[in-house]
Structure 1
Amino acid sequence: MASMDKIALLELIRKIGLEDGNVDFLREGLKVLAEAVMDAEVSQLIGAERFERSTERKNYRNGYRRREWDTRVGTIELQIPKLRKGSYFPSLLEPRRRAEKALLNVSQGS
């Protein structure tokens, strides 16, 4: 993973699941995983990690936009990274579709 190592990700998922009994553990886990995938894609696209100075950098991050994503575990509100120049659309989503079908296709290698 780009900026978040596996142990930190597991700790975050455990913390989310344990702090509030009303939090849906699967939905929050899927949100964390999807946002980590998007962060890694953007880092590769721009040539630098978050807050990293690099001569290889091609672009800069410019905040986030929200998008709802309908999954079997419920609707998840994702924070999709924006770029200063150009645009970024996550590979795990399909344009104009809010369902998780695209994530299944990406994870199965189709």
Structure 2
Amino acid sequence: MTQLQFNLNLDILKESVMDSNIDSVIKASIVLVLNEFMEKERDDHLKASAYERTPSRHDYRNGYYERELLLSIGKIVLRVPRTRSGDFSTSVFEQYARCDQAFVLSMLEMVVNGVSTRKVSNIVEQLCGQKVSKSFVSTLTEKLDPVVNKWANRPLNTMYYPYIFADAMYIKVREHNRVVSKAVYIATAVDENNRREILGLRVDHVESCEAWQRFFQHLQSRGLQAPKLIISDAHKGLKAAIGKEFVGSAWQRCTVHFKKNIITHMPKK
């Protein structure tokens, strides 16, 4: 196990403690530990300590450069060691990226849950004391694309789904500098272990038989087998698409939609 010897600047720590600024104490401690760790990594790379003369020396020291690191308690500045040949690379930032990823995922989760980019930027500023632009948050959400695409195209032939619920909802979407209404087709299944699973979703302009057929054909291309029963509302286009794409599957009208249809024809009293 690597052993580190820290030369702590007690004046900085004492000043932070006296000022009762616990964040400053944590930041100063992290900076000292990480700087010392990178120094040790450079020694191991050079195979020689500072001012040590040895025939096994690999290279020579070449000062430091500063690099910022954003933590949940704020931004810190580290002194990253360099070598003359430039082939030394510290593992600190690579290792921290795994921890930093949790912070990034928290930001992405806020976006998924409907928090605006402006609010996400304000939250990050309050947590870290460092303001991030709305464009940075927007760029960050692009990291969701490969995750969503992998989920949306996952194979469905690994399990049989005897019951499928099909429904559509309308959402507002910004398209070509204007807000329009679009239909989102959603298929939810119940597997043989009685667990619910969203099979997929698709955005289209309107709810029609042709659009539902394209959605069902996409699910079938991923390996979906014809279920025993499909539950949906009584939309004519949806019923027609089910009859064409899932021959032999039984259809049942959704009782929730049926009750809502009845209520719309009842007196408000």
TM-score of the two chains, using structure 1 as the length reference: 0.72
Match of 2:52, SS state, is coil
Match of 2:93, SS state, is coil
Higher RCO (C-alpha 8 Å, min separation 6): 1
* Maintained 8 Å contact 1:93/1:103: no
The answer to whether structure 1 residue 101 and structure 2 residue 104 are counterparts is no
Match of 2:12, SS state, is helix
Which residue type is aligned with residue 56 of structure 1? S
- What is the 5 A alignment of 1:22-101? 24-94=24-94, 100-101=96-97
Runs (5+) with no aligned partner, structure 1:
106-110
Q: 1:39 to 1:103 in 2, by over 3 A?
A: farther
* Maintained 8 Å contact 2:71/2:100: no
Which residue type is aligned with residue 33 of structure 1? V
What is the rounded CA distance, in whole Å, between the counterparts of 1:24 and 1:81 in structure 2?
Answer: 23
Query: Which of the numbers 11, 17, 21 marks the counterpart of 2:13?
Result: 17
Match of 2:27, SS state, is helix
Structure 1 or 2: more strand by fraction: 2
What is the rounded CA distance, in whole Å, between the counterparts of 1:13 and 1:104 in structure 2?
Answer: 26
Please name the residue that 2:122 is paired with: none
Structure 1 residue 54, shift from structure 2 partner:
1.2
C-alpha deviations, 1:14-69, integer Å up to 9, x for none? 43221352680000100000011101110000110112111110100101011001
Match of 2:58, SS state, is coil
Runs (5+) with no aligned partner, structure 2:
102-269
Which residue type is aligned with residue 25 of structure 1? V
Identity of aligned residues (%): 26
What is the rounded CA distance, in whole Å, between the counterparts of 1:60 and 1:74 in structure 2?
Answer: 33
Aligned pairs, how many?
A: 95
What is the rounded CA distance, in whole Å, between the counterparts of 1:102 and 1:42 in structure 2?
Answer: 22
* Maintained 8 Å contact 1:31/1:76: yes
What is the rounded CA distance, in whole Å, between the counterparts of 1:65 and 1:58 in structure 2?
Answer: 21
* Maintained 8 Å contact 2:63/2:83: yes
Structure 1 residue 70, shift from structure 2 partner:
0.7
